[in-house]
Chains A and B, each alone.
Chain A
Amino acid sequence: MRSEIITAPETEAPATPVLVPLPRRRARARRGLTRWLLVVVLAVLSLPFVFPTWWMATSSLKPMSEILRRVPTLWPQDPSFDAYGRVFTLQPFAQQYWNSLYIAVVVTLGTMLVAAMAGYAFARIRFPGANALFVLVLVGLLVPAEVTIVPLFRIVNTLGLVDTHWPLIVVPVLGAPAVLAVFIMRQFFLGLPTELEEAGRLDGLGRWGVFWRIAVPLSRSALGAVAIFTFLKSWNLYLEPVVYLSSKESFTLPQALTQYVDAYGGPMWNVQLAATTLTVLPVLAVFLVAQKQFVQGLAHSGLKG
């Protein structure tokens, strides 16, 4: 950024215009032009990323007569919140919203606790079989949810937990989805200097004391990353709710969003988009506020550690 200001033509031009050879000045002007062209390219490229969200929010304010139309309108001609009312009358949407929210919060807190403990122990404590156990846990990274969905459904069914939220909470916290979190926490603790913990031990803290009072507070950034991708993963979970849940009162949001259809199975677009908007906007708002943490946290999960 700074170099741009320094080389900006206005700062040099008035002093000794004669000394700047003409071809070079032209080259610089061309570079400036190229830069602006690239900005235009970026703006065009960002359309498919930004426009859908805009289209979702504005279409949710349109009546059905305006919503599918040969000549689309970028802004509703007669904005109305009718669709938002029907979101709640057609389905127990508030209940479903609460289901998604509380499940995601419990899963996030549970995963943070489980991953912090296991990550710390695997990184710091020497106990026989630690490596073998760690490898056993890592197997979870290799198993897509679809591979184990049939036996897990069978287990859940045998335990009589179909159409409850238990499998959506317990399996992610203790099963394969938590493994990435354990791995990230272990990597973090491995990279953390041990001096502070040793000082804590000299001050008479036991293992648990060192863990809770020193290690956990120091690992806030890694825990934040874990929290963000765990929350989003739970909030977006789709296959598992579709398999485990059957009554509308127990549905979570992704599943509920697909249920706004008319008697013939055709989607009621404006209502569906209103519900979708209600699902998306809070998360987007949090993202805009805490962007850096989101990008770092999700890049972590993208790289699988």
Chain B
Amino acid sequence: MAASAAVRRDRLVGYTMVAPVVLGSLAFVVLPLVMVVWYSLHEWNVLANTFTFVGAENYQRMAADPGLADALRATLWFSVGLVVVNIALALLLAVLLNQRLPGTTTFRTFFFSPVVVSLVAWTIVWSFLLQADGGINGFLSVLGVEGPNWLRRPDAAMAAVIIVQVFKNVGLNMILFLAALQGVPEELQEAARLDGAGAWRRFRSVTLPLISPTVLLVSIITIVGSLEVFAQIDVLTGGGPGSSTTVLVYYLYQQAFRFNEFGYASALAVLLFVIVLVLTLLQWQSRKRWVFHEV
């Protein structure tokens, strides 16, 4: 099966075109993945200059590490809180924007604008607002309310991190929901209206089932994204107070770059990878269903 010269030349062009990203993936994705698994089997402290094979010891340590248990609990709280608030707010905003109210375009711009603001900048401004003597408590005191020191109380700090993140990115999910809402046929709404269904009933029984695949997909994407929260935590709370906002990625960062425990940090990285992998497979599964619905 000797290929003609033209076909061979075409293949060569193909290989040349994909070469940068293929070689890049090998060097900066696949190789580091292999390395991180290899490192996770070692006791490796940069300061002590030790690198010894210890087998599964880091994984055993993970099972018994109360710090990791705290981090996983914080991660769970953060992810669940973020997804619930984010999806609820995104849906609310999308539904409101879908009513053809006056000023809709302006409001959409408002809700979307934080998406383009630098994450660290957005977090710094909120950090300023949330100080004990900052803007939010200032306005509360005008109303006669004594606000808490938001970032220094464990429960309030977690809530603050979630809220700041929601306002930053909810505009993106809002746009995705808006697109889904505009795909809901007008006739179905009309039919339900003629049957005497009120606005809430129409939303629950007609709109929501039709856009539920999108809701599921967006939820999973939001959960996966929520696992990668680093800058917000670092700028807003530094993982504190105590370890109340030390989520998994922040714990990993601390172990590696504060305590120089690169071996243990690598084992944590493997754990993070497995979690993301499982969630992404779930997402692909749900996407298949989504496409099916669309057809």
Contacts and interface: CB of A to CB of B under 8 A. Distances in A.
Interface of A: 1, 4, 35, 38-39, 41-43, 45-46, 48-50, 52-53, 55-56, 59, 68-72, 114-115, 117-118, 120-122, 125-128, 130, 133, 136-137, 139-155, 170-171, 173-176, 178-179, 182, 206-208, 211, 232, 235-236, 238-239, 242-243, 253-255, 257-258, 267, 269, 272-273, 276, 279-280, 283-284, 287-288, 291, 294-295, 298-299, 302-304
Contacts of A283: 116-118
Contacts of B29: 139-140, 143, 148, 175-176, 179
B172 interface: yes
Interface stretch (B59-67, B151-159, B224-232): B224-232
Most chain A C-beta atoms within 10 Å of own C-beta, residue among B10, B26, B118, B270:
B118
- 7 closest A-B pairs (Cβ-Cβ)? A174-B24, A175-B28, A125-B14, A121-B17, A151-B35, A72-B138, A254-B120
B228 A284 contact: no
A38 B39 contact: no
A176 B266 CA distance: 18
Nearest to A52: B125
Contacts of A178: 21, 24
A148 B33 contact: yes
Contacts of B234: 238, 242
B253 interface: yes
Contact of A173 (B14, B24, B100, B121): B24
A175 to B, nearest CB: 3
B99 interface: yes
Contact of A48 (B97, B167, B227, B262): B167
B116 A284 contact: yes
A154 B109 contact: no
A70 B143 CA distance: 12
14 contacts: A42-B97, A52-B167, A53-B113, A55-B125, A69-B133, A130-B14, A136-B26, A146-B252, A149-B269, A153-B256, A154-B262, A175-B28, A238-B230, A283-B118
Interface in B164-211: 167, 171-173, 175-176, 179
Nearest to B126: A52
Nearest to A304: B221
Nearest to B24: A174
Contacts of A52: 114, 122, 125-126, 129, 167
B99 A182 contact: no
Given A144-B249, A147-B33, A174-B25, 16 more contacts: A38-B96, A53-B125, A56-B128, A71-B141, A72-B139, A114-B24, A127-B11, A137-B25, A146-B253, A232-B116, A236-B120, A239-B253, A284-B117, A295-B112, A302-B172, A303-B217
Nearest to B262: A150
A178 B35 CA distance: 21
B18 A133 contact: yes
A121 B280 CA distance: 26
Given A144-B249, A150-B256, A71 B142 contact: yes
A125 B93 contact: no
B116 A287 contact: yes
A137 B36 CA distance: 18
A128 to B, nearest CB: 7
B121 A147 contact: no
Contacts of A208: 13
A96 to B, nearest CB: 13
Interface residues of B, number: 93
Most chain B C-beta atoms within 10 Å of own C-beta, residue among A1, A52, A146, A211:
A146
Interface in B242-295: 249, 252-253, 256-257, 262, 265-266, 269-270, 272-273, 276-277, 280
A271 B102 CA distance: 39
Nearest to A69: B138
A211 to B, nearest CB: 8
Given A46-B110, A147-B272, A295 B100 contact: no
A54 B29 CA distance: 41
Contact of B134 (A68, A174, A232): A68
Nearest to B280: A142
A255 B20 CA distance: 29
A122 B124 contact: no
Contact of B276 (A59, A69, A144): A144
Contacts of A154: 35, 262
Contacts of B134: 68
B10 A49 contact: no
B111 interface: yes
B20 to A, nearest CB: 5
Contacts of B93: 45
A17 B114 CA distance: 48
B173 A302 contact: yes
Contact of A142 (B167, B270, B277): B277
A280 B228 CA distance: 22
Given A72-B139, A150-B36, A254 B118 contact: yes
B80 interface: no
A39 B33 contact: no
Most chain A C-beta atoms within 10 Å of own C-beta, residue among B18, B27, B114, B171:
B18
A273 B175 CA distance: 29
